[in-house]
Amino acid sequence: MIKQIHFGILTAEEIREQSVVHVTEKKTFQDGAFLTNGLRDSRLKLAFGHIDLHTPVYHISFVNNIVQWLRCICYKCGSTLVKNEPTNIQKNKWLQYMAKHAQNKCPECHEKQPKYSWNKDKAQIEKSKVLYDIDDVQTHLCQLDESFLSKVDMSHPKHMILRCLPIPPTSVRPAIMQGGVIRGEDDLTYRLIQIMRSNDKVQKTIIDKRPEHIIHSAKESLQNAVTGYINHAKVGGKRKVSKREYTSLTARLKTKEGRIRGNLMGKRVDFTSRSVITGDDTLGMHEIGIPISVAKKLTVPLKVTAYNKSIIQDWLTKKDSTIKFVIRPNGSRVDLSFVNRTNIDVDVGWSVERELMDGDIVLFNRQPSLHKMSIMAHEVKILPYSTFRMNLSCTTPYNADCKYSYFFLSYSNRN
Ligand SMILES: [Zn+2]
């Protein structure tokens, strides 16, 4: 029985422990085969791997949180700078509240606290307008007591700085195939290759004991590569804008076409149709014009009763019959486009599905459905052409212009 779900940040140790491949090869292929320990290692089909970064890097989506945490912790002695912890506050607002109410002077060591901010162009945190080295930020955050965090049930902010980058399975970033041959890699894979190149360069400059500014610029390019992989909109500095920028993880989730709004929030149901609306002054306010093509597709289920049995039997055997399916009491469906309909005798307890016809009552809806008049019942009138037609007096309650509109069918009980 699941009682609750807790979201937290994976630590570098946890990533290494759960990883199946330590990715060290920058290439995906060699001699026509997937390279072991490469980005297409066969073990990466379903599980994830990892890269060890040679310098710590900010996780760009956590940068605001890191700055807020810094404001809450005394840089000298590590004690928390908030006297009264808030009660009755939403958990996602908690850190923001703490950072806002942090004291200027440490209550323990009476040290005056500096100001912290994020410098987008340099991709670094600044402490009183001076660059605050990421290693110092890490030691600063590490001073925070774990017992304080367990009280508020949060992950330790030191894990917001990446030392180990998880590599998603290949099913998340499939190669571009053409005629069964791999023609290219997914954007994320190219991003990961960039990260690995920058990572190697950092290691090389350190081993070769290159001058400080060269090491620094290598680290900066690694930071930008990781930021670009997570969210390319957050990469600062003067970048060369290439012809086509690779996508990033955040871009997959955001926007109308993204995973959340595009794939998860959209709800499609049966017995509906969607088209453009246009006005029609020959229709009454209670009517709705439905294209013939739609009326032939949408069906209305009817229960066969003692009262309508003979009518339905007539409909069924008629030459231009509108009945498309017959459902027996045991639930078996007969598609009448494959069966000789004259051999079927319906009985009480059976059901049939017929095409939409004039006089059926349907629900008509235009999103956003902001009030109850966004979904109203109308009487069907089947008309030529392909748009839904309505009396112009109905546009106000639907707040309709001539853009897309939804149309839901509800069962008619007339028959
Ligand atoms: Zn202090």
CA of residue 105 to ligand 1 center, whole Å: 8
pTM above 0.75, yes or no: no
pLDDT attached to residue 108 = 86
pLDDT attached to residue 64 = 93
CA of residue 229 to ligand 1 center, whole Å: 37
Residue 306: both structure tokens together: 């003692």
CA of residue 286 to ligand 1 center, whole Å: 73
Would you identify the CATH topology of the domain 271-298+356-415? Answer: Barwin-like endoglucanases (2.40.40)
- The single-letter DSSP state of residue 180 is T
Three-state secondary-structure class, residue 173: coil
Residue 53: both structure tokens together: 């970064």
CA of residue 106 to ligand 1 center, whole Å: 5
Q: 388: Cβ–Cβ under 8 A, 6 or more apart, which residues?
A: 275, 276, 277, 278, 288, 289, 290, 291, 364, 405, 407
CA of residue 83 to ligand 1 center, whole Å: 13
Three-state secondary-structure class, residue 403: coil
pLDDT attached to residue 410 = 54
Q: Which of 151, 139, 30, 28 is nearest to 85 (CA)?
A: 151
Helix axes 212-231, 187-207, angle to 10 degrees: 160
Element of type H or E holding 150: helix 146-152
Q: Which of 123, 109, 124 is nearest to 75 (CA)?
A: 109
Given a cut of 70, the residues of the chain with pLDDT beneath it are 237-243, 266-268, 402-415
Q: Cα(65)–Cα(125) distance, rounded to whole angstroms?
A: 12
CA of residue 68 to ligand 1 center, whole Å: 16
All structural domains of the chain with their residue ranges: 8-266, 271-298+356-415, 303-348
Q: Which of 74, 70, 81, 18 is nearest to 44 (CA)?
A: 18
CB environment 345-364: b (16+ within 10 A), e (fewer): ebeeebbbbbbbbeebbbbb
Number of other CB atoms surrounding residue 413 within 10 Å:
9
Model confidence pLDDT, tens digit, residues 353-378: 999 999 999 999 888 889 999 999 99
Q: 271: Cβ–Cβ under 8 A, 6 or more apart, which residues?
A: 298, 299, 408, 409
CA of residue 73 to ligand 1 center, whole Å: 8
Q: Which of 376, 386, 381, 382 is nearest to 410 (CA)?
A: 376
pLDDT attached to residue 66 = 95
